Structure 1
Amino acid sequence: MGFFVIFNGICVRLVYACHVAVCVWRVVAVNESYFGDIKIWLSLGILAFLGLMEAVWTLLGTKKGSYKWFCPITLLYLCGIVPCIWNLEWDIYNTRMAYLEQQDSTDCDPYILDQIFNVTKAPNLPTVVNFTLKLTDPEWSRGLQQVLLFILILGRWFAPKGKISRNQLSQLLLVYVGTSADILEFSTEGLQMEQVICNPILITCVLSIWSWSLLQFTLNLTVTLSTEKEDNKCRNMYAHRRRQRKKREKQNIRKYCGSCMCCETEVWAIGVSMVMQDIPFFMMRIYLLMVYEVTNEAGFFFTCKNALVLLLQIYRLVVIVIEYYKGRIRANVTRQQGDVIYAIANNIDIGTDDELQTESHLKIQRFFLVDGTEARVVAHDNYASGTNE
């Protein structure tokens, strides 16, 4: 493993650690009681130890500094960030409810309630230009969520690629950008609704779905095999089956091809996207639309968008299944043709259930070509001919 691979891996992990430190500082600054809570610092110590062990194991124990299908450092990073965001959002909720109770009001207008928060600034920012970062508590929460998604994308870009190619990495990053936009829109728009900000159950639902959707970034299931590589695997498999001449050859091929389709990475990528993002987002928005009558333009638009995305995902799965079965039929026909030609070339009997024996010294096998036309192959001692009917 090269020096730059290890260097990039260490730099990415340091960026993750700095962002976690900023989030922890913000939680402690909002609620000073956390500063003396030993559980928080013990949890951070355990997380830091796991991160150190992961860095040593991944950067020194693997050949290319990363795994192909899973990113353990991303999981540890999310374990440090997500609880901080939950704490910030619940502190915002408690502050709002205390203000409403003090004012003896039930008006949950987000524009009014956002005015009660004090403006705080980040500590010790570098003064390259005359600029001071001053944000309220809700703005801090939204800003940390935005930075989280940017760091996830950039971290995956600059981290060691592992066993995936540059082409696959570029596809993965483009998918990450689209996924990040949907997740950020869902969390920011959902937590600013008037029906949500004063309802602890809805806040829990939104944060739970948001946390669940972030786990997509720990997986690299959008990495798909090239079509040429898949075709080569299938051709090698069929050649192996022909050489073995097993009695249950067709059944074995069907089992193998079925497992190929079910384990194909594109199928898994679509399934993961639907289960971890599209379906939860759609169900939550439909629930808000039907139960709480959230009928603003943005909510209605994003609900329709989620429904359209789900339909396109299902359509894509149907296309994959249809193309798979078409390819299997073509492969079986090609295999049968190859068996007949091999038998004729080696003067071997071609006995099947469909054979027609017109004479005792002739063997006629019927099969279908790729274009659907029926053909017959006649095998004789030193004679072979094929005619289309």
Structure 2
Amino acid sequence: MSVDAYLSSLCTEDWILGLHQALLVLVIGAKWVLSLGGGVTREELAQLVLNVVSPAADILEFTNETILDLNEKSHGLVYAILAVWTWSMLQFPVNLDASRREDSIQGRGDHFILRRRTDMWSIVVSLFIQDGPFLVVRLVAMFHYKIFHQMLVFFAIKNLVVVLVNVYRLRNICHERKEAAKVRRDHILRL
């Protein structure tokens, strides 16, 4: 079978899947290549690529499985899925690597927000750009449109766990901030 005959035999869904996969591979590759020249250690680079691969897999399942299930049931929800998908792609170009963020705050004292902004950024991205919106759309698909299949349920549970863990992290950061403020206040009162 020639290449032209093979490409002609692929259906529209195969082309869409292929384009989504190619886009995400390009985003991951670009993130990796752009970080090479920034003074990033090998460990930081490995962590950065791992942090990009997980959301990419979630995004790929989100657009493929969920849209194929809903295509005939609700065009409005398909548009919502595409909007959330587009919104989630914003995390890739704006996500700064950890070494640059940590280097930028050295020498600025012990200000709590500056020390924890890497964590805060990852929580905001997860809750408002990636896992939070994906969870909402998946729950709507499952409970309103009565669509249940293994991958949809798995990724909904994954999104729920990530949201809960990030809310827990946010709670701990707020508690840590209160404790740090109390220690500073007690130290000032002793003087």
Deviations 1:346-387 (A, max 9, x none): xxxxxxxx8xxxxxxxxxxxx3xxxxxxxxx9xxxxxxxxxx
- Give the one of 158, 171, 175 matched to 1:305: 158
Indicate the residue corresponding to 1:281 in structure 2. Answer: 134
Taking a change above 3 Å as real, the CA distance of residues 229 and 149 of structure 1, as seen in their structure-2 partners, is: closer
Deviations 1:93-125 (A, max 9, x none): xxxxxxxxxxxxxxxxxxxxxxxxxxx9559xx
Taking a change above 3 Å as real, the CA distance of residues 146 and 331 of structure 1, as seen in their structure-2 partners, is: same
User: Residue 172 of structure 1 aligns to a residue in which SS?
Assistant: helix
Radius of gyration: which is bigger? 1
5 Å matches for 1:121-136? 133=7, 134-136=9-11
Indicate the residue corresponding to 2:56 in structure 1. Answer: 180
The aligned amino acid for 1:191 is I
Number of aligned positions between the proteins: 186
Taking a change above 3 Å as real, the CA distance of residues 233 and 188 of structure 1, as seen in their structure-2 partners, is: same
Deviations 1:261-315 (A, max 9, x none): 6x81320221022111111111111111221111333322322221111000111
- Give the one of 114, 131, 143 matched to 1:260: 114
Q: TM-score, normalization: structure 1?
A: 0.42
> Is 1:146 matched with 2:21?
yes
Structure 1 gaps of 5+ residues are: 1-119, 124-131, 236-256, 337-353, 355-366, 368-376, 378-389
Identity %: 30
CA distance in 1, matches of 2:4, 2:47: 35
Does the 8 A contact of 1:222 with 1:269 survive in 2?
no
CA distance in 1, matches of 2:24, 2:81: 17
Structure 2 gaps of 5+ residues are: none
CA distance in 1, matches of 2:104, 2:26: 33
CA distance in 1, matches of 2:144, 2:97: 35
In the TM superposition, residue 204 of structure 1 has moved relative to its aligned partner by: 1.1
Does the 8 A contact of 1:221 with 1:266 survive in 2?
no
Does the 8 A contact of 2:126 with 2:163 survive in 1?
no
CA distance in 1, matches of 2:170, 2:61: 26
Indicate the residue corresponding to 1:190 in structure 2. Answer: 66
Taking a change above 3 Å as real, the CA distance of residues 288 and 122 of structure 1, as seen in their structure-2 partners, is: same
> Is 1:207 matched with 2:61?
no
